[in-house]
Structure 1
């Protein structure tokens, strides 16, 4: 699914004022500058949240780190398991995952959503665009810095999942596996867009599409499973943080209920499960 197709879907799915195209340039510029200010404010808000965390927030971080650590221990086995059906994965699925998660296509999509809302004077679509751009930028910058600091070997390097070459200013080829930018950007978009809908089946469908790039990157041996899992959960944290910030900036609300991210751990003979509610 190409970005412009998704944009058209959003335009039809969310009621707009597209019939009123007599745009006042002053109002257009005011809305644009206001929205870009909220993009920067949202990014700053997301980065500053750890200084305001309380018990549950630190617990969620602990669960995420613990879950990632568990996957770290089985990444090589999971890579070997994926190798058993790697050749059977349809090419179009892998191509879509690799292309859609790229920064260029991501910003073409998020920018298109925002401009559609700006020119149709649709505040809900404007806010969605702001949420998409701010979340992608916050997550994108964070993962770029993390790659250089951590320097984890990619599966395709031929090294094990425990090989690292950390602390580089420039990214080192095949030692920039953790976290996954494609997975983070793709699921950031999916999670933000799914907020527009209340139907759980629609949400599940959007989440599934958002998970494809992460699956594709594992299939192509660009990332380990733990890279993808960590990036996906981190993208949820970022979107939620920025979305709460935007509640005070726009009349349109996505957070009518006060539900928060929660985790449940379950254990059994030879099994361990993690359930995330959002």
Structure 2
């Protein structure tokens, strides 16, 4: 008799099932945004599409240009992230041992989910479904969400691709030490820094969470978005500092592009709500992230 665990393992190992789960998420998000956000206009679908694609590339450019416009507070935040990444770097090797020791205790379906959801093809499957749903239903809020997802994933993903090739950091599974770097290597085993799975998955989660006001819903979406990054630690594909910095890149990219889109679309995300505030927390033997909703 098939157990629940066996069924879930088989279900989540299928790409079709991943697509099914993503569609369910889109339907729920779409339903949530229908109250005041769907209205008729006289623009054609093609006009909306060309406008949105322009905003995808405009958002990417805006995100890349932000460091040239940072104020003192922004540079202090950057310094905090750099310091936090260095602290994680100091514990990379014991963290590697800890996470790899947990691997056999993690249900296979969770490990499979971490791999599939963080893969580029599944990421763009999600972003494409969100955007096209908004485009063909003429729902501006959902269109904007799709633009935010596509632009953020593309901007952060391109940065990740260039960075991992430039730094050439050895993956933990190679047996090399954490400080082994072979810049511009074509060997995928030296493309550890930063983590593409973490960036794509958490970028999606952070952008989607903007649709909701409830802090528990947000926290749940963030948690689901972190699983692919953590799964890469179990598999020995990335160091803890790779994953930590990748989460920060995701947050900064989404926030920058979302700010850019505020000037392009009438619909805003929870505009009367206080913005989510992320800060690093350090203590004796600890390092963490504090989130204020």
Report the TM-score when normalising by structure 1.
0.91
Q: C-alpha deviations, 1:212-256, integer Å up to 9, x for none?
A: 100111111111111111101110000000000000111110151
d(CA) in 1 for partners of 2:91, 2:165: 23
Match of 2:266, SS? Answer: coil
Please say if residues 56 and 150 of structure 2, whose CA atoms lie closer than 8 Å, have aligned partners that are also in contact: yes
- 1:6 alignment partner in structure 2: 22
Alignment of 1:122-271 (within 5 A): 122-168=139-185, 171-254=186-269, 256=271, 257=273, 259=275, 261-268=277-284, 270-271=285-286
Please say if residues 151 and 175 of structure 1, whose CA atoms lie closer than 8 Å, have aligned partners that are also in contact: yes
Aligned residue pair count: 271
Q: Which runs of 5+ in 2 are unaligned?
A: 1-11, 13-17
* TM-superposed deviation, 1:261: 4.1
* TM-superposed deviation, 1:11: 2.4
Please say if residues 4 and 109 of structure 1, whose CA atoms lie closer than 8 Å, have aligned partners that are also in contact: no
- 1:63 alignment partner in structure 2: 80
Please say if residues 114 and 126 of structure 1, whose CA atoms lie closer than 8 Å, have aligned partners that are also in contact: yes
Please say if residues 151 and 165 of structure 1, whose CA atoms lie closer than 8 Å, have aligned partners that are also in contact: yes
Alignment of 1:31-110 (within 5 A): 31-110=48-127
Moved over 6 A (4+): none
* TM-superposed deviation, 1:258: 5.9
Q: C-alpha deviations, 1:56-103, integer Å up to 9, x for none?
A: 111111111111111111111111112322111111111111111111
- 2:3 alignment partner in structure 1: none
Match of 1:50, SS? Answer: helix
Distance change in 2, residues 1:93/1:38 (3 Å): same
RMSD value, Cα: 2.1
d(CA) in 2 for partners of 1:51, 1:187: 25
* TM-superposed deviation, 1:267: 3.1
d(CA) in 1 for partners of 2:289, 2:45: 46
Match of 1:263, SS? Answer: strand
d(CA) in 2 for partners of 1:266, 1:146: 27
Match of 1:84, SS? Answer: helix
Please say if residues 42 and 246 of structure 1, whose CA atoms lie closer than 8 Å, have aligned partners that are also in contact: yes
